[in-house]
Structure 1
């Protein structure tokens, strides 16, 4: 759970400091993708198979897209700052979903 708390702290810092925004997007996207992929591969729980796996694969794709957005943001930080903050704001919900499924245990 400390990972999630630290990531939320980094997200709040990135909203105040424009220079941290691409690094935080890359970090959060990578951690989200890795945690969701770990759950999809190693966890065999009770939930309906296709719904559970489909949700996790969607979260992996969202994590990769967030990482790509962080790389895209490094090209023109001043012009793309608002887009990066919007993506970072929407990335909190997938992090909470992965944490609720046990991805950070």
Structure 2
């Protein structure tokens, strides 16, 4: 990702890589880890829907990011460089969310 800031030809690779990692971590949380923490303190099924809905949205965002890096950016790297960098910066927020929910817990 650091190289993608200066070299426009690295942006598609960074987008694909980060999108796949983001989707894989979100899907692993959906499959292998049940809601915990704040999601257990609140009563009712709404916190579970928020947990799984948020992780589903992150997984879809990661797949969209990877497809953006595969289909759109390589066609005109110089023209899409700014948009690709913006998507990379925006993908840091869902990545932090996934890691905060225990994104590396499935590596144990």
TM range (shorter): 0.7 to 0.9
Structure 1 unaligned residues grouped into runs of 5+: 1-10
Q: Alpha-carbon deviations, 1:63-94, whole Å to 9, x = none?
A: 00100110121111111111111111111111
Runs of 4+ with deviation above 2 angstroms: none
Structure 2 unaligned residues grouped into runs of 5+: 40-46
Partner of 2:7: 17
Q: Distance in 2 between matches of 1:70 and 1:45?
A: 31
Larger of the two Rg values belongs to structure: 2
**Conserved 8 A contact 2:35-2:51:** no
Partner of 1:60: 59
Could you say what the CA RMSD is over the residues aligned between the two structures, in angstroms?
A: 1.0
Question: Cα offset for 1:13?
Answer: 2.2
Question: Cα offset for 1:32?
Answer: 0.1
Q: Distance in 2 between matches of 1:45 and 1:94?
A: 17
| Aligned residue-pair number | 95
| TM-score normalised by L of structure 1 | 0.85
Q: Distance in 1 between matches of 2:92 and 2:4?
A: 13
Once the two structures are superposed, the pairs formed by residues 1-105 of structure 1 within 5 Å of their partners are 11-46=1-36, 47=39, 48-71=47-70, 72-105=72-105
